A and B are shown apart, each in its own frame.
Chain A
Amino acid sequence: MPTIVSVDDSTVPGEGSSRLLLLVSSDNKHIVVEEDIMSRSRFISKQVEGFEATSQRHAILLPFSSFVLNKVIEYCSHYRGYYLLEDDPDAAPPGRSPVREWDQEFLDVDRNMLLRIIKAAHYLEIKSLVGSCARAIADMIRGKTTEEMREILGVENDFTPEEEHSPSSKCTG
């Protein structure tokens, strides 16, 4: 779990009307970001709400690197002010929406980075980003054999030879 640390209410004025948040990555990089930008993250929103009454500024320690965190911030910055159905907690779960073009380019990263982003997005509860990453990963493995899926995503085959070759397993999974 990350630690949210309270800091004194010092005198850092937020730019414009948006307050500033301090996000601390696992590699101890301090990233200041406007609260508005990160409001797409339900996790961050909930944490900030929890401290509203205290009139203190907050630093939020996150369990992923600054490189990943910056990617997430880039995503949130791009969609700042945009309404995305997936991120609306009151909306019904969306069906299969078309892939957003910008997301496709944004997620054109290597496999490891993609996995880190989806985990970060899941942690921060940014459903739209989780969905886009999940779709990208699904695209990587769709149409591949089981062996290819293992290779692509580094998964170990833990079936026993008997389990793997049993006729019933082969047919029905």
Chain B
Amino acid sequence: MDDFVVATVKPGLNATAQVVAQPPIARLPVEILSNIFSYLPFEDSDKDKWYATDGLPGWLAVTHVCRYWRSVAHGCHNLWAYIPLDNLEWTRIALERSKSSSIIILAPDHFKCESEDGSGYYIDAEAFLLACKSMNRAVDFRWWSVCLVHNDYFRLQRILDELLDSPVPFRLQSFDISVLADDRRIIEIPETLFGNQPLPNLSDVTFAGPLSIKTSLLSRTPSLTSLHLSEVEVDAWRTTAGVVETLRGLPLLQKLSLEGCLPYTDGVSPTEVILPHLTTLRIVDNILAASMIVPILFAPMCANLCLGFFLEADGMTELDTHAMLIHVLLGLFPPALLATNSYHTVAIPASQNDDDGLTRTIFSQTPYLAGPSKLPNEFSLYLTYSNDIEEYHDGDDNTVHHLFVDVIRHLPVRGVRELRVANYIFEHAFNWTALLNICTYVTHLTVSGTAVSGALFQGMLDPSDHDSYTLLALSSRVPHPMPLTDLSTITLERTDFTERRGPFSPLRDSMMMQTIWILTVARKNGCYPPFRLVLSNCIISPDQFKKLRAYMGDESMVCIVDG
């Protein structure tokens, strides 16, 4: 510090005075105030704040605060870039003040205006038509949850017709149309939408609602990186070849989301589609998608394994879930993040209620699976952000199958060397044991924020009787070969040992506790090699810690404390 010698200070500087006299925000520099204003318009996460409570749109309200704000706001083109469609006057103002800058045309779904017969929302058709005249400036078009009643079908058609007339090339980057209709009548999006022009900038498209779209519309969007279809019919998807053809035309696709869009299957084996950039595949409420889309996409993408690949399957039948899990867990995506938020228990049809038969069926439907020989010898398996898979019943409701066990016991994952289970809740302790049994050659087991409940051994024996407990456990429950013989490290992260449902809860039904206990005792009996236990960011009581240390021995226990 002393080496910096302030030699001279220019006269006139009174920095202290400047700070004391901090100007109020009204006198913030124009650049800062403009910057603040540019963040004011509608944001996806903040729909309810679009309108101020005095009924003015947020961007209009700032012009009523003071003269300075008004003058700054008038010159802030970004503030007016969001074109509302529910009030002709506001539409006109926004179009005018946005000058020549890019605009976003949006009709959010929370508009309070009611249609003439009092049902649903509507947009001001005149305002929309006015906005359409500036479509050449639009970079984003969002039209959400437009509820169509009665004659509104014709209104939509008229508006779409207007879109076709624009002579200027579109700058659109994002197009989002979401329609709700009372009677589910399907509205056909014309093939000539956007006047047959190619859409070189369009990267993000959403069609949602009872809409029918022509494949040729998508074929004019080669730059598409995100496609979301919800309850939409795609004309070409009545054949396998049509699905393949559509996806082939979208080589840059990164996100594909299908909600209730049923690709038809015509019995023809799908041809491979290479989507090298795909990182997210989301299939929701879609019965046939797993057997149709997944095989098309998964096999060729094996060559382009992506660490961040995200697969979401929700609202499907167990059959679909089963198929998808097999695809993922089979190791086609060794490091895949499997995100399955919830599963619905659905009765498997009687003809498929034999689990072996079911699995065989799925394998036979997935010609790209060549079995264990295709898998690498060593890889990591990650189960993340998932709930345990519910048990399901067969058609007669007599037998309970554990889908998780059904799936993993068919998996050739014995080559897994590193198993990481994070944020995973095992509702059935048996599944936890089954997983460990499958992963025979795991050397590094990491359990992070994971809970196991249920009692595998509860009531069967006295946990304090180590020898009989271990003997019984090892002899009756652990199949041959014995699991985890190569285990060198168990890592527990973000685990609250004091929680009842924690994986190392002091209760007897804690599976992690039992796992460690069994292994420890077995190790002492010479069955297992020594392994290290690493605790990282765990909450543990002194008594629990003492007990654990007694099990493990000082030298094989490492605690990493962070935070």
A interface residues, Cβ below 8 angstroms from B: 1-3, 5-8, 10-12, 22, 24-28, 30, 32, 57, 59, 61-65, 96, 112, 115-116, 118-119, 122, 130-131, 134-135, 137-139, 141-146, 148-150, 153-159, 164, 169-173
Interface residues as binary, B39-83 with A (CB distance below 8 Å gives 1, 0 otherwise): 110010010111111101010111111111110010000000000
- Residues on the A chain within 8 Å of B66, using CB: 150, 155-159
Find A26's partner among B18, B28, B54 (CB 8 Å cutoff). B18
Q: How far is the CB of A1 from chain B (nearest CB, A)?
A: 7
Residue contact B32 to A143, C-beta cutoff 8 Å: no
Q: How far is the CB of A93 from chain B (nearest CB, A)?
A: 10
Residue contact A61 to B9, C-beta cutoff 8 Å: yes
- Residues on the A chain within 8 Å of B542, using CB: none
B interface residues, Cβ below 8 angstroms from A: 1, 3-10, 13, 15-16, 18-19, 22, 24-26, 28-29, 31-32, 35-40, 43, 46, 48-54, 56, 58, 60-70, 73, 89, 93
User: Given A10-B5, A130-B35, list of 17 further CB < 8 A pairs?
Assistant: A2-B15, A3-B10, A7-B4, A11-B3, A61-B9, A122-B31, A131-B35, A144-B53, A144-B61, A145-B61, A146-B54, A146-B61, A148-B53, A149-B65, A153-B25, A172-B89, A173-B62
Given contacts A26-B15, A155-B25, A171-B89, contact A143 B3 (CB under 8 A): no
Residue contact B65 to A122, C-beta cutoff 8 Å: no
**Which chain A residue shows the least CB distance to B89?**
A171
**Which chain B residue shows the least CB distance to A142?**
B49
CA distance A103 to B93 in the complex (A): 34
- Residues on the B chain within 8 Å of A115, using CB: 22, 25, 28
**Which chain A residue shows the least CB distance to B173?**
A95
Residue contact A154 to B5, C-beta cutoff 8 Å: no
- Residues on the A chain within 8 Å of B25, using CB: 115, 137, 153-155
**SS of A interface (majority):** mixed
Q: Between A and B, how many residue pairs show CB distances below 8 Å?
A: 165
Given contacts A27-B16, A63-B19, contact A138 B37 (CB under 8 A): yes
Q: How far is the CB of B216 from chain A (nearest CB, A)?
A: 29
CA distance A27 to B15 in the complex (A): 8
Given contacts A134-B32, A134-B36, A138-B39, contact A149 B3 (CB under 8 A): no
- Residues on the B chain within 8 Å of A141, using CB: 36, 40, 62
A-B contact list, 27 entries, CB within 8 Å: A3-B13, A22-B1, A24-B6, A26-B19, A32-B1, A32-B4, A63-B13, A96-B43, A115-B28, A119-B28, A119-B32, A122-B32, A130-B35, A134-B32, A137-B36, A137-B39, A138-B36, A138-B37, A139-B46, A141-B36, A142-B40, A146-B65, A153-B26, A154-B24, A155-B25, A155-B65, A156-B24
CA distance A164 to B13 in the complex (A): 40
Q: How far is the CB of A49 from chain B (nearest CB, A)?
A: 19
- Residues on the A chain within 8 Å of B54, using CB: 145-146
**Which chain A residue shows the least CB distance to B35?**
A134
CA distance A11 to B15 in the complex (A): 29
CA distance A3 to B24 in the complex (A): 24
**Which residue among B26, B36, B50 has the maximum number of chain A CB atoms within 10 Å of its CB?**
B36
